[in-house]
Amino acid sequence: MGDASELSAALIDGKILSRSVTDALSSRVRFLAEHGVCPKLAVLLVGDDPASQTYVRSKERLCKKLGLASEVIRLSDDISKGALLAEIARLNADPLTHGILVQLPLPKHLDEREILFSISPDKDVDGFHPANVGLLASGAPRFVPCTPKGIMSMLDSIGCEIEGKRCVVVGRSNIVGKPIAQLLLARSATVTICHSRTRSLADFTREADILVVAVGRPRMITGDMVKPGSVVVDVGVNRVDGKLCGDVDFESASRVASWITPVPGGVGLMTVAMLMENTVESAERSAGIII
């Protein structure tokens, strides 16, 4: 990353922030336990993708640490659509399961959209179901998608003023790009979404007070594309020469920005913490307990 003395940007530390989120959740989990409720997250893992296995293990560990119940259903990569939908239907009907997550990516023979849309909106802790997407767009979300929710928490943690600011989101995915744009817009920011067809991308990114990058291309945003004094949120996780890096070139961007998220140790940790928070919220809602 370079000599820290060369860097001007302060780090938005996902390790510290995610710990504060989970610490706050512990008391809510204890309160639910006093009322006979144990939040439960069910994760369906299809196939043996190494990255997916790692992500699922991290979720299992955090569930255990917080006192949440977790069920990981490991399924072969040749499972039929009908069999997978049957597993989801079983979990939808289980009153003890509060959150359901299908670990992506899925094998190519499975329709990702059809599978995700089969999850009950009331247990869709990822916030991907069209009913939940619509509620988010209307300003009355049931579940906010975990990564965008984590990003907003990170911005709030540094006292970042959002109202009236110019925000640029690079990436238009349903998982990050679109929902973070909705959340920033709801906070009265002026939001531009850029993508692979955007011409003269740097002309947009240099105007951003808050720059969110989520495209999956290593170090594509360089320091000369960043507005001096801006806040840069790097959602990307890429492996280059055996090392993790983001979509932002950390060394050059951190000399220009005022705040920046690191990779690793940034948004990814907040994503998992927010998944736990959404699961606890689902359990509270199911039990009619409002904290």
What amino acid positions are annotated as catalytic residues?
59, 103, 126
Residues 6+ apart with CB under 8 A from 267: 14, 147, 150, 151, 154, 233, 234, 235, 261
Residues 6+ apart with CB under 8 A from 16: none
> Distance between CA 254 and CA 3 in Å, rounded?
11
> Distance between CA 239 and CA 218 in Å, rounded?
8
> Distance between CA 238 and CA 245 in Å, rounded?
5
Kindly report the backbone phi and psi dihedral angles of residue 231, in degrees, each rounded to the nearest multiple of 5, phi listed first.
-105, 125
| Inter-CA distances, 262 with 27, 33, 58, 177, Å | 29, 36, 19, 19
Kindly report the backbone phi and psi dihedral angles of residue 200, in degrees, each rounded to the nearest multiple of 5, phi listed first.
55, 55
H or E, element range at 245: strand 243-245
Of residues 235, 230, 209, 210, the one with CA closest to residue 220: 235
In 48-200 the beta strands, taken as DSSP E runs, fall at 69-75, 99-102, 166-170, 190-194
> Distance between CA 211 and CA 46 in Å, rounded?
34
Of residues 102, 36, 68, the one with CA closest to residue 281: 68
Of residues 199, 195, 204, the one with CA closest to residue 177: 195
